[in-house]
Structure 1
Amino acid sequence: MKQKNYNSYTVGQIVAGNFDAAKVFSRYRIDFCCHGHIPFAEACRNRNLDPEAVARELNELQENANGNAPDFPGWLIDLLIDYVLKIHHRGIRAKGPQTEALLAKVTEVHAKNHPELLQVQTLFRDSLRDLENHLSKEENVLFPYIYGMFQAKEEGVKVAKFHCGTILHPIKVMEDEHSHEGERFERISSLTNGFTAPEDACASFRLALQQLKQFEEALHEHIHLENNIIFPKALELEKEQTA
C-alpha cells in the first residue's frame, strides 16, 4: 500500500478520514479534537515527536485496518447529531455522576497520601457542571436549527435565518468551551500521571482513574465529531440555505 504523506493534513482531518488514528494521537497526547486545526507536523513537534516516526505508525495502522471504524465523515449530519446526543450526551450524564461519586470516595481515603486527588475532584466536578450547561445549549439552540436546515434541504425549501444571523456565533462559543474542557482534562491527566495508578492504589483508586481516562476518551471523540465534522458540515449547509 502506498505510504500516505500527512504533512498536508491537519490532525483533525487525519482522524476524520480514519478514526482509528485517534488511538495513535491519544497515546502521544496529540490533541486532535480541540486543536484539530493544527497541521500534523506542527502538532508532532509541539509534543517533541518526530513527525516521520508518527507518520509510520499511522501508515501501519492504515495497512492493518480491519474496516471497523465508523465512517463518520460519510454520515448525514442528522445521523451524526443523533449519535452525539444518544452516545455522548447520554454518556456524560450517566457516567459522569458515577465517576464523580467513586472519585469522592477515593479522595476521602487517599487524599492524605495523594493530595493531588483534591484538585482532580474539583476539576472533574467543575467539568460536569460546565458540560451540563454546554449540552443544554447544543440541545436547545444549535442542534434543533441544524436539524431544521437539514430537513429543509431534504424537502427542497429554505429555512429562516438563525436568530442571531448565522450559526457561526454559537459554534464559536461551543468550540471555545470545548477548548476549555480539553485544557481541564489535560490538567487532570497531568495530575494523575496520565491516569496511571500509584503503587499504593487500591482497586477503587485504579477503577476511578480508569473511568476518568474513559470519560476523557469519549469526550475527545465527542469534541472531534463536532469541531471537525458536524460544525463544518453545518456551516456548509447554512451557506447553501442562504445562497
Structure 2
Amino acid sequence: MSHHTITKSPAGTPLLDRTVGEIVAERPAQSRIFQSYGIDFCCQGGKTLREACEKKGVSSESVVEQLEAELRDKPEPGVNPASFPPGELVDHIVSTHHRFLRDELPRIHQMAERVAQVHGPRHRSLVAVFETFEAMAMELADHMMKEEQILFPAIKSMAGGQRVEMPLDGPIACMLHEHDDAGAALAKLRELTHDFEPPAEACNTYRALFAGLADLEADLHVHIHLENSVLFPAARAMQEA
C-alpha cells in the first residue's frame, strides 16, 4: 500500500479529483459511504475519488451522488477531530481509539478463541479468523505502546513549542507500515467472515464475534485515517518548519 500526505485541494476542484482522505478529513460521516462501497479511506487515502472508484470497479457517479446527498441533507454533527491541533488530536486518539482497542481486543479475542474451538472443526475458516485476529491484536498492542512512548510524546512536545531533535520520519514510516499490516488483516477478516455475516444457524457468541469484528474494523479505519491523513502530515510539517 502507498502513503500520501493529505493536502487541501484548490477551491473548485471537482469531487472526483479530490482524495478520499481529504473528503473524510473534512466530513467524517462520509466515511460510511466509502465503507459501503469497500473504498479504503485510511491506508489508501491518497487516491483520488476517481482512482478509488476505478480500483473497486464501482460507479463514480453513484458514489458522488450519495456524497452530495449526505452533504446536502445531513449536517455534520459535533466536532470533527481532524480539525484538532496536533497535541489535542494525540489526546483524542489515545483516549478514544486506543482505549477502544484496549477494551475490545481482549473481549473479541475471548470470543474468537471460543468460536474457533467449538465450530472450527466443521468450519476451518473460523480457526483462520482466530489466528488472524490474534496476530493482529498482538501487533496493535505493540503499535500503541510505541506510539504512546515514543512518537506521540515527540509530537506533543513540538506542538507545545519545544524543539525535538529526534527525526520523526523513521518512527512515522514504521507506524505507516504497521497500519498497512492492520489494514491487510482487517481485509482478510472481512473475507473470511463473508463481510461479517454469520450463517443462519450461528450461536449468539458466533454472532457477537462477527459484530465485534465489524465494529473493530469501523473504528480502526477512522483511527488509521486520523493518523495517516491528519496527524502524521502535521507532525512532519512542524519538524520541517
Using the size of structure 2 for normalisation, the TM-score is: 0.92
Distance in 1 separating the partners of 2:52 and 2:78: 23
160 and 81 in structure 1: CA distance in 2 versus 1, 3 angstrom threshold: closer
Distance in 1 separating the partners of 2:184 and 2:46: 16
Distance in 1 separating the partners of 2:202 and 2:78: 34
Kept in 1: contact 2:81–2:92 (CA 8 A):
no
SS in 1 for 2:160: helix
Following superposition, the deviation at residue 232 of structure 1 comes to: 1.0
1:76 maps to a residue whose letter is P
1:85 maps to a residue whose letter is V
Following superposition, the deviation at residue 39 of structure 1 comes to: 1.3
Kept in 2: contact 1:19–1:70 (CA 8 A):
no
Kept in 1: contact 2:197–2:210 (CA 8 A):
yes
Kept in 2: contact 1:19–1:69 (CA 8 A):
no
* Correspondence for 1:6: 15
Q: 1:106 aligns with which of 99, 115, 120?
A: 115
Kept in 1: contact 2:27–2:76 (CA 8 A):
no
* Correspondence for 2:38: 29
Distance in 1 separating the partners of 2:32 and 2:14: 19
Alignment of 1:1-243 (within 5 A): 5-152=14-161, 158-162=162-166, 166-240=167-241
Following superposition, the deviation at residue 239 of structure 1 comes to: 1.6
2:205 maps to a residue whose letter is S
Question: Aligned pair count?
Answer: 230
Distance in 2 separating the partners of 1:62 and 1:69: 15
Following superposition, the deviation at residue 69 of structure 1 comes to: 5.0
Distance in 2 separating the partners of 1:5 and 1:114: 47
Following superposition, the deviation at residue 23 of structure 1 comes to: 0.3
Kept in 1: contact 2:29–2:76 (CA 8 A):
no
Percent identical pairs in the alignment equals 30
SS in 2 for 1:20: helix
Distance in 2 separating the partners of 1:22 and 1:4: 20
Distance in 1 separating the partners of 2:233 and 2:83: 13
2:119 maps to a residue whose letter is H
Following superposition, the deviation at residue 70 of structure 1 comes to: 3.1
* Correspondence for 1:155: none
Distance in 2 separating the partners of 1:111 and 1:59: 44
189 and 46 in structure 1: CA distance in 2 versus 1, 3 angstrom threshold: same
Any unmatched runs of 5+ in structure 2?
A: 1-11
Following superposition, the deviation at residue 4 of structure 1 comes to: 8.1
Following superposition, the deviation at residue 234 of structure 1 comes to: 1.0
Distance in 1 separating the partners of 2:164 and 2:47: 34
57 and 4 in structure 1: CA distance in 2 versus 1, 3 angstrom threshold: farther
1:159 maps to a residue whose letter is R
1:200 maps to a residue whose letter is E
Following superposition, the deviation at residue 7 of structure 1 comes to: 1.9
Distance in 2 separating the partners of 1:167 and 1:160: 9
Following superposition, the deviation at residue 14 of structure 1 comes to: 0.8
Q: Runs (4+) of structure 1 moved beyond 4 Å? A: none
SS in 2 for 1:230: helix
Q: Please say which of residues 218-227 and 65-74 is displaced more in the overlay.
A: 65-74
Following superposition, the deviation at residue 112 of structure 1 comes to: 2.6
Any unmatched runs of 5+ in structure 1?
A: 153-157
169 and 143 in structure 1: CA distance in 2 versus 1, 3 angstrom threshold: same
Using the size of structure 1 for normalisation, the TM-score is: 0.91
Measured on the aligned residues, the alpha-carbon RMSD in Å equals 1.4
